[in-house]
Chain A
Amino acid sequence: MKSLWRKGFFILIIGLLFLTGCSDKYPVLNPVGPAGEREKNLIVLSAVLMGIVVAVVIALLAFIVYRYRDKPNNKAAYKPNWDDSKILEVVWWAIPIIIIGVLSFYTVRDTFALTKPPKNSGEPITIEVTSLDWKWMFFYPDQDVATVNYIDVPAGRPIQFVLTSDAPINSFWIPALGGQEYTMPGMAMRLWLQANEVGTYTGKGANFSGKHFEDMTFDVNVVKETDFNKWVDKVKDTSHALTKQEYQKLAKPGVIGEKSFSSYPKSIFMDTVNKNGGLYMNNDWMMKDMNKSDEMEGK
């Protein structure tokens, strides 16, 4: 019986090792950017440490249950009143405290690190993201283009996603690039990601937002810098401009495919934020924070 539990656990561990080997099926374990890489390292560190603890517990359990089973000819010690050992108790208070201490250190370090753009990389690019009922709207303020349900991003440059929602709360997640962040109405929040390998990755809305929420996936095309510029030019040449009226129509609940727009009304993103209650929020701290990181980037 015990062996079965052990088997289950080993399958899990071996499974984990095995997965790290195979490629794009497990985006979380095979990230293509520094944020995802940092998160993966934490996952592996904690999985190994916790794996050891679980293995010890299961081994101890198996040993104890076998040795002290209630059989008439069992020769093992039986001490019905033995209920206290200061040394043992100190040991098993100390072990978890040490493990938690180690994990806490890395957790806090990485929590702070992930709020900043990756070091030693190129010029950041900004993409403003709005989650709608049941589609994603993207604005490129520097390039002045907009897309729906897909993005093209240059490889090797930090991407500053600024997130909001014009619908219920959702969560913006591109597993291959790194962890997610909520999109919330009335707030503009920032998420730093970066992709170093050219390819197409899947992004998704991770937080339930109603009927067609599972259709909120989008492609993330990571391309070389030159190809990115070509793509911007192509969008500018071949698509029409997004108007406020068209945005209103897009914002209505429904499912659509990919779309591109050659330009868009500049204020549309912040208008959305303010319309949904951003007006009432004190967004100053965030803006200051943004400027601070811009300064850091300048240095």
Chain B
Amino acid sequence: MFDRIKSFASDFFVTGEPMIYASDVAIVLVLAAIIFTLTFLKKWKWLWREWITTVDHKKIGIMYLVSALLMMFRGGVDALLMRTQLALPDQNLLDPEHYNQIFTTHGTIMILFMAMPFLFAMFNIAVPLQLGARDVAFPFLNAVSFWLFFFGALLFNLSFVIGGSPDAGWTSYAPLTELGFDKGPGENFYLLGVQISGIGSMATGINFLVTILKMRAPGMKMMRLPLFCWSVVASCVVIIFAFPALTVALALLMIDRIAGAHFFTMLHGGNPMMFLNLFWVWGHPEVYIVVLPAYGIYSEIVSTFSKKKIFGYKTMVISLMIISVVSYFVWAHHYFTMGASAGVNSFFAVASMLIGIPTGVKIFNWLFTMFRGRISMKLPMLWTLAFIPCFAMGGATGIMLAMAPADYQYHNSYFLIAHFHQVLIGGVAFGLLAGMYYWWPKMFGFRLNEALGKWGFWFFNIGFYVCFMPQYLLGFMGMTRRVSTYSADTGWTDFNFISSIGAYLMGIGFLFIVVQVLYSIKYGERDLTGDPWNGRTLEWAIPSPAPHYNFAHIPEVKEVDAWWGMKERGESLVQLNRKKKFTPIHMPKNSGIPFIMAVFFFISGFGFVFGWYWIAALGLLGVAICMIARSNNRNTDYHIPAEEVEETEAAYGRV
């Protein structure tokens, strides 16, 4: 009996690696510390009432943001481990098995558990406030989305210490991921973790599209929407059409793995290429899902910090929509080398290059928004200014990659690696950080320290170029991605070493950002005006941090930059408070069901990972019960009394 337990435990827990033992200890210590602190400060109830059960989009946004930053840390540590391993030839810091796990988790985490939640943080924090709404269209669903993401990410990260991490790349290509080649539970963690959080992403897409279509303040026609909201529309449309493909791909692969089907095997008529197709039918639009909202953030920031209207509003909207439509017709450029006919490759090559046209137009529109403006170099604007050259270069190499015959030489090489990091970091990560700095005062009521932020900015930016420019050259030298080591006679040493230095500089940049946040919590300048940047859109018309109900009175919108226009005419929401009587505000009630349901999803996923079907079934049963309970609950909303609204506004000094 004891032997059986021992052999089970040695399979169940990841063993034999000092780094992982150290992490085990760290995880236990951190958990203990959290539990102790919460108990000591008697904060359990507070945690449950204020955060876990909340359906408030602002709090959900903050939870997304914190999760995303944590995941950025983990993905970043993965990146540093890889760069350390590759800094010199023939190193043994990581054996191939661990290296493979690390690049897999790095990719999956950065795209699905960092970029996506970071975006959703921005959606949640800014969209309802920009619309003049009191919450999203489906607040309960919003909480479900968050908790599904959270527990999906948790399940995926659990593989680090239990069962073993997935090791087939974030793209998880069949047949490498089929049972014949990959027996361990790692791949199951990937499939279930991504699947569970994917359900949440899909719901978020629907939620925000409906919110923007239905919950705009009076007078806010579609062509008066702030550009960030337009970019969210474009992104949500892509989410709604692209995510089902991922759901199907993962589900079929899971059926292959747990039930021995042959959708993507080599035998019995299965076709591995089908997985690649389904994956990238989602995967390429996914890139636009994350980058379009970043475009929106840049549009807001460029206009605000140039004190000038956005140049070519209509063109910006049209180009966003063109990109979101064309993004569905480019996926095969991820494998021009699959031997498709010249006609197929030509189609996808030209379609991919077409994306460059509206994107180029947007860059010029941003430039000419600054032209004849007054540019102030605050942190959000710095990141935006850094984005333009970085993304121009990344876009240029993107066009180069889109040329099918040239791609035969770039494919799977470090040239590709450099390209997509340049667009995803330069385009998406810069945008998200810019957005974080921009909306931070609105979220928390204080500004982040500029000086520390600038240190972070410069380390991260210089580090970026030092890290990734040499990788373009490594591509021309024939270095392929995902190699865990190389021999000195390849001649790759110099550039790899430089690249690793760059990665560490970026790591230091990230640490500065962390220090900046911690420092500013204590010493940051409090934002008492609600409008620290002299903003143009409605979120800056209300106090920081926004009250629970956002707007005591919903303003009437007369132009694109609604708040700017009000300021020009000498209007404000305080006047509205004085002119109109306070009325009770209809709000959704908190609910524990989203959290509990996501826990059941987690339990079920865990059961599927190890093939313990009774646990999986139990989890699904729990999910079903939660759904039924919610469907039968009629007591889901309440009214904030008019007096309470008045008191709150008075506390902000706005009556």
| Chain A residues packing against B (C-beta within 8 Å) | 1, 4-5, 8-9, 11-12, 15, 19, 25-29, 36, 38-40, 42-43, 46-47, 50-51, 53-54, 57-58, 60-61, 64-65, 68-70, 74, 76-85, 88-89, 92-93, 95-97, 100, 103-104, 106-108, 110-115, 133, 163, 167-169, 171, 173, 175, 178-182, 184-187, 189-191, 202, 204-214, 276-277, 280
Q: Which of B112-120, B136-144, B323-331, B408-416 lies at the interface with chain A?
A: B408-416
A168 with B181: CB separation less than 8 A: yes
**A184 and B372 contacting across the interface, CB-CB below 8 Å:** no
Residue B392 CB within 8 A of the other chain? yes
Q: Decide if B440 is an interface residue (CB 8 Å cutoff).
A: no
Q: Which of chain B's residues have a CB closer than 8 A to the CB of A186? A: 266, 271
Cross-chain contact A179 with B472 (CB below 8 angstroms): no
Bound-complex Cα distance A284 to B169 (A): 33
The SS class assigned to the B binding surface is helix
Determine which of B272, B311, B335 lies in contact with A84 in the assembled complex, contact meaning CB atoms within 8 Å: B311
With a CB–CB cut-off of 8 A, which chain B residues contact A96? Answer: 356-357, 360-361
- Measured CB to CB, the closest approach of chain A to B233, in angstroms, equals 21
Contact in complex: B473, A15 (CB < 8 Å): yes
B388 at interface by CB-CB < 8 Å: yes
Residues in chain B within 8 A of chain A (CB atoms): 96-97, 100, 168-169, 173, 175-176, 181-182, 265-273, 306-313, 315, 335, 337-339, 341-342, 345-346, 349-350, 353-354, 356-357, 360-361, 363-364, 367-377, 385-386, 388-390, 392-393, 396-397, 399-400, 402-409, 411-413, 462, 465, 469, 472-473, 475-478, 480-486, 491
Q: How far is the CA of A190 from the CA of B354 in the complex (A)?
A: 29
Query: Total contacts A to B, CB within 8 angstroms?
Result: 289
Q: How far is the CB of B360 from chain A (nearest CB, A)?
A: 4
Contacts of B376 in A (CB 8 A): 69-70
Say yes or no: B372 contacts A77, CB within 8 Å: yes
Do B476 and A65 touch (CB < 8 A)?
no
| Top 5 A-B residue pairs of the complex, sorted by shortest distance between their CB atoms | A179-B408, A50-B396, A189-B339, A168-B176, A214-B483
Query: What distance in Å separates the Cβ of A82 from its nearest Cβ neighbour in chain B?
Result: 6
Is the beta-carbon distance between B385 and A61 smaller than 8 angstroms?
yes
Chain A residues, Cβ within 8 Å of B377? 69-70
A187 pairs with B309, CB closer than 8 A: no
Q: Are A83 and B309 in contact (CB under 8 A)?
A: yes
CA distance A72 to B477 in the complex (A): 50
Residues of A within 8 A of B408 (CB): 39, 114, 178-181
Residues on B with C-beta less than 8 A from A65 are: 370, 375, 385
In whole angstroms, what is the CA distance A64 to B338 when docked?
A: 44
Given that A93-B357, A111-B346, A184-B273 are contacting pairs, would A214 and B486 also be in contact in the complex, using a CB cutoff of 8 Å? yes
A residues within 8 A CB of B354? 100
Asked whether, in the complex, the Cβ of A89 is within 8 Å of the Cβ of B478, the reply is no
Q: Supply 20 further A-B pairs (C-beta < 8 A) apart from A79-B372, A89-B361, A184-B339.
A: A39-B406, A42-B405, A53-B360, A54-B393, A64-B370, A78-B374, A80-B307, A80-B309, A82-B309, A82-B372, A85-B311, A97-B357, A108-B346, A110-B404, A171-B411, A185-B272, A186-B271, A205-B480, A213-B96, A214-B486
Q: Which residues of B contact A64 (CB under 8 A)?
A: 367, 370-371, 375
B482 near A76: Cβ-Cβ < 8 Å = no
Known: A28-B475, A46-B406. A107 touches B350 (CB 8 A): yes
Question: Knowing A43-B400, A168-B181, A180-B411 touch, does A93 contact B361 (C-beta < 8 A)?
Answer: yes
**Chain A residue with minimal CB distance to B344?**
A111
